[in-house]
Amino acid sequence: MGEFKVHRVRFFDYMPSAIRTMAFNSQTERLAVARADGAVEIFNFNDNFFQEKVIPGQDGRATEALCWVGHRLFSAGLNGEITEYDLENLRPQYTVDAYGGPIWTISSNSQGTQLAVGCEDGTVKIFAILEERIQFQRNLNRHKGRIISLCWHPSSAQIAAGMTDMIKIFDAETGHATRRLLVDRAMGASKNKEVVVWSVGYLSDHTIISGDSAGKVQIWNGLTGTLVRTYLVTKWDVLVLSVSKDESSVIAGTSEGTVIQFQFISSTVDQHDKEWVRTRTFRNHSHDVSALAHTDTAVVSGGMDTQLVVRPLLDKVEKNTQESALRKIAFPHRSLVGCAKKAGLLLFQFPDRLELWKLGESEGHVCLMYPYFVCRFLQGEDHICCSALSACGGWLAYSTVSSVRLYRIQYNNTISINKVGTLARACSRQPVHLLCASDDGKWLATANTDCEIHIYNLHKMKLHCMVPVYNSCPTTIAIHPVTNNLISVHADQQIFEFSLVQKEYTQWSRRLQAQGLLSLWLERDTPITHITFNPKNPDHIILHDTYMFCIIDQSLPFPELNAVLWNQMTLKSLPVSQRIGQSHAFKICKSFQHLMCVSLLEDLSLVVVERPLLDIMSQLPAPVRQKKFAT
């Protein structure tokens, strides 16, 4: 295939935001994750953990708690407002001020009729969930000190509230506190430091489980108000608890970065009286674990170190399958980098700004000109949803939840930027998450989270056709500049090629489906986020995920099912004459890791944008517990 000159770019200092909280909806298998910058991401656990929706954040919106009520998603934050999200248009639908100061926690009852929020001023406020909005109902009896955590009893008759130094149980009907559980402070020097109950769980047998800032997980009897068991699990805080749906298992996240599982089992074999026993410890984070979800088969955790970790419980899944593999989601499942192929420009998208860079030039290995920073576009309060740069580098567009902006950039000796205009955001019923136009400007393809791909004819300005719906969400689509075929790659790693002219899958695509993809390809755990084409050789399709990029040569045969997928080393060792026989369509290169973008410029040099996880780690604040030698 030959040599490529590679621009290895590492100056995109993208910094994901810390995960603040999460909520799992077991009906729809969707996980909502709120980040510290106010963004909310929806992951589809049925479809390879694909990040199907992102609601961009906003300055000043600090989401503290998330809550699913059926298909509706509510959040509350330290700005004192309750927000419901419009999951179709990917923006907040409305906000309601609770008038109780910063809100620390939000919880809905099991029927989905009432929403309780815990406020800074010590009140628990009950809101009724109506069809299109929520309405304040009443306050429970007010107490001194903020309400940090809340949990409804499954019968909706009681609410447990965690505050400083105590847990209170309220009668949801009368609003009176029925029990007061005093939580011990930490031993030793911090004896006079008040203890904060960061999280409570209320089980149907009236067992209350609490996690607090003294590092304890405590099991209480909610009927008698007595302490049953105390587990001291860390020297620092237990920040979050999550109870499994069947109430047989509880997980606790700590400031040390560990997740500790407790199970309700009989401590000795063939004994019927069960008790809560500390069973497993997971250590997948370097920093605070501030968000947890206990799904049926996995522990999902996130925190300060910005990564979402899905850790399957090995007693719940089949071993040694793809399902039992640990998954870490570190990067968004969409491209944040735009590339102007003709001009050699890179556009980096940050939540609050865009940066435009000019690539360097070189003679072989020798760098003649270093890349330089061209300009920066600062966005205001609303964060950027998406951005694009034209191939010539002269046009730049980006959008926020409220507007779309288009800029004309002129590169004379001095750069001048003209704001062309602000277009009204065209609202469609389905949230389109992918959009691409053909190079000749005739075709436009859109993909939405219902897995539909629509093709529009831009000359006639009408719908041309719809690609047959596949059951996995497309992660990226592209239209071939020469053949006008649509390439789509899906969350389950399948690749399709659809001819726009014939309105059917191409021969190549049919052959690929008939033969099937290798399991090594299917088992990759990051989605393909970008496709480009080779302007000189129409057979070449270049695509990449986080850990590799691949050039698919459509003229070569597919690998046999028992063949080696990563065969570059083998080919390298073979003499040229024998390479033909051994090579197959997938040319995979893993030399570059943590890829944000791979693109092929007009002069056939590759641009590789890397963002090493270590660099991200090094920008995080120091963890409370540092791993020392031999500890």
Partner 1 sequence: MAALYEGYTLCGLVPDQNLSSSGIQGIEEERDRDHVVVTDSTRSVTLYKVSDQKPLGSWTVKQGQKLTCPAVFNSQTNEYVAVTDNKVIRIWKEDDILLDKAFKATVSSDVWKVHCTHGGEPVVLFQRGAVRLLDSLLAAPQQPIEEVLAQEEAIRWSTIIVAETQQFIIITTEQKGEHFLYLQRLNPNSVQRYRLEREEPGLSPLSFSATYRDKHICLLYLYPNGHVYQSVLSVRGLGTEEGVQALPLPRSLLLGLPVGDGQLEAASAMALDEAHVAVVGVPHPSAGGGKDFLCIWNTNFQTLQAGKEMAGKIYGQLWSYSNKVFIPHGKTLSIIPFECPKSSLASALGKLKHTKTEESKTPNSVPSWNNILHGEKAQPSKSAETRRTRTTRKSQSTTNLTTDQVLELIKTAPVEEIQKEVEGFLTRAEFQDLQPSVGQLALTLVSRSLADPAFYSSSTLAQLVHTRCLCHSVCPDLVLLALEKKDYFLCQLCLQFFPDIPEAVTCACLKAFISIPDVDAEKVSLEPDSVKFMENLITRDRAEAGLQNGFSPTSSVVNDRQTRAEDVKKKASAPSQLSCPVGLHKAVLINEILQTPYSDTFLLPHLKDLSSQHVMLFLQYLQFLYLKYSQDAFPQMEGFRSPSLSQIMDWVCLLLDAHFTVLVMTPEAKGLLLNLHRFVKSQVRLVSELGKIEGSLQELRKMKAKESIGQYSIEIIELF
- Chain residues binding partner 1 by CB under 8 A are 1-11, 360, 362, 364-365, 367, 370-371, 551, 568, 571-572, 579, 583, 587, 589, 591, 606, 628-630
Of residues 479, 360, 343, 348, the one with CA closest to residue 415: 343
Shortest distance (Å) from residue 464 CB to partner 1: 35
> Alpha-carbon dihedral of residues 128, 129, 135, 137, nearest 10 degrees?
0
Sequence-separated (6 or more) residues with CB below 8 Å from residue 470? 451, 488, 490, 494, 496
Could you give the CA distance from residue 415 to residue 421 in angstroms, rounded to a whole number?
A: 18
Of residues 58, 101, 107, 94, the one with CA closest to residue 79: 101
Q: In this structure, are residues 155 and 139 in contact, taking their beta carbons and an 8 Å threshold? A: no
Nearer to partner 1, 109 or 599 (CB): 599
Shortest distance (Å) from residue 616 CB to partner 1: 15
Q: In this structure, are residues 186 and 215 in contact, taking their beta carbons and an 8 Å threshold? A: yes
Nearer to partner 1, 390 or 568 (CB): 568
Shortest distance (Å) from residue 526 CB to partner 1: 21
Shortest distance (Å) from residue 13 CB to partner 1: 9
Q: What are 235's two structure tokens?
A: 């020297």
Shortest distance (Å) from residue 629 CB to partner 1: 3
SS3 assignment, position 188? helix
Sign, Cα dihedral of 439, 441, 443, 446: positive
Task: Give me the residue label for tokens 């497309």.
Answer: 474
Could you give the CA distance from residue 582 to residue 107 in angstroms, rounded to a whole number?
A: 59
Nearer to partner 1, 429 or 572 (CB): 572
Sequence-separated (6 or more) residues with CB below 8 Å from residue 276? 207, 209, 219, 228, 229, 250, 262, 263, 264
Nearer to partner 1, 456 or 547 (CB): 547
Nearer to partner 1, 132 or 629 (CB): 629
Determine the residue type at 364.
G
Shortest distance (Å) from residue 7 CB to partner 1: 6
Nearer to partner 1, 281 or 593 (CB): 593
Nearer to partner 1, 29 or 615 (CB): 615
Shortest distance (Å) from residue 340 CB to partner 1: 17
Task: Give me the residue label for tokens 């399958």.
Answer: 321
Nearer to partner 1, 360 or 535 (CB): 360
Q: In this structure, are residues 490 and 475 in contact, taking their beta carbons and an 8 Å threshold? A: yes
Q: How far is CA 510 from the centre of its chain?
A: 32
Shortest distance (Å) from residue 291 CB to partner 1: 31
